[in-house]
Amino acid sequence: MDPYPGLAADEHPHGLVNVPFDELVPHLRHADRIGLAPAVHAIGDRANERALDAMEAVQPGGWHGRASIEHAQLLRRDDLARFAALGIVASVQPEHAMDDRDVADLYWAGRTDRAFMLRDLAAAGVELALGSDAPVAPLDPWIAIAAAVGRSREGREPWHPEQSIDARIALAASTDGAGARVRPGMVADLAVVGRDPLAASADDLRRMPVALTLLGGRVTHDAL
């Protein structure tokens, strides 16, 4: 909403709109019409607000599926309830908080309590989907989980630890969800790990040893 400090008007002090609202809405209508779950890229608070506006314009009663906003890095507090009411998934990359914390403290000064609001999103009933944005961050779910739980890296003090989430929530947001259970006959993608992720420290999560993986029930890695 607010301009970046120290930037002139011709330096895009509010960031850039790549897809204007009046173009985004028809794109979303088309996706909805043909049964696609849209994913809208939005980082700043104004971008997220307008993305939600567009999604609400298309489906005022909420999206039934997995429509998402990708990144959702800076939010207005009022928009947490809108995410939940519209059924929009917040697809967040927690390791970006570790990558971007210094530049965020500079350009989002006074607003970083609203950055990577994982705990507040979860508390508001918003479905979280954690990812890596690879190759921007490493393609390793345990790194994302560790960043979400510990909000720290390389021994630094945790960055806004009030927005951390516990490992159970982070795992659910990195898999099929808290209610997923493996049953006979299911096609399963599984990982057998060397530590209990619900009891491991954030540092241990970041270095989680993986003993066995299965893709569609087929062994793809075996270190047992």
- Return the bridge partners of 213, or none: 191, 221
Tokens linked to 165: 């989430």
What pTM does this model have?
0.92
Q: Strand, helix or coil at 89? A: strand
Q: Hunting for tokens 């790990």 — which residue is that? A: 193
Q: For residue 184, say if its preceding peptide bond is cis, omega within 30 degrees of 0.
A: no
- pLDDT tens per residue across span 9-35: 778 888 889 999 999 999 999 999 999
Res 8: pLDDT: 80
Query: Does residue 67 register a pLDDT over 70?
Result: yes
φ/ψ region of 89 (left if φ > 0, alpha if ψ in -120 to 50, else beta) reads beta
The CATH topology of domain 9-182 is TIM Barrel (3.20.20)
- pLDDT tens per residue across span 134-143: 999 999 999 9
